[in-house]
Amino acid sequence: MAWNMGRIKANVDGTYNKDEVIKAANAIQAIANSGMGALYLPGTDKGKGWKETRVKPELFTDKEGVGKVATNFVQQANEMAKVAAAGDAAATKVQFGKLGESCKGCHDKFRVDEK
Angle at 96 between CA 91 and CA 101, to 5 degrees: 130
Which residues lie below 8 Å from residue 55, measured CB to CB, with a gap of 6+?
Answer: 40, 44, 45, 110, 111, 112
- The sign of the torsion formed by the CA atoms of 31, 32, 38, 41 equals positive
The pLDDT tens digits for 10-41 are 999 999 999 999 999 999 999 999 988 777 77
Local confidence band at 49 (pLDDT 50, 70, 90 cut-offs): low
Task: Say what angle helices 18-32 and 2-13 make with each other, to 10 degrees.
Answer: 150
Cα→Cα distances 5→62, 64, 65, Å: 26, 26, 23
pLDDT value of residue 41? 75
pTM above 0.85, yes or no: yes
pLDDT value of residue 83? 99
The pLDDT tens digits for 59-110 are 888 999 999 999 999 999 999 999 999 999 999 999 999 999 999 999 999 9
Residue 113 DSSP label: P
Local confidence band at 48 (pLDDT 50, 70, 90 cut-offs): low
Task: Tell which residue, 52, 104, 98, 58, has the closest CA to residue 75.
Answer: 98
- Three-state SS at 55: strand
Q: What is the CATH number of domain 2-110?
A: 1.20.120.10
pLDDT value of residue 44? 73
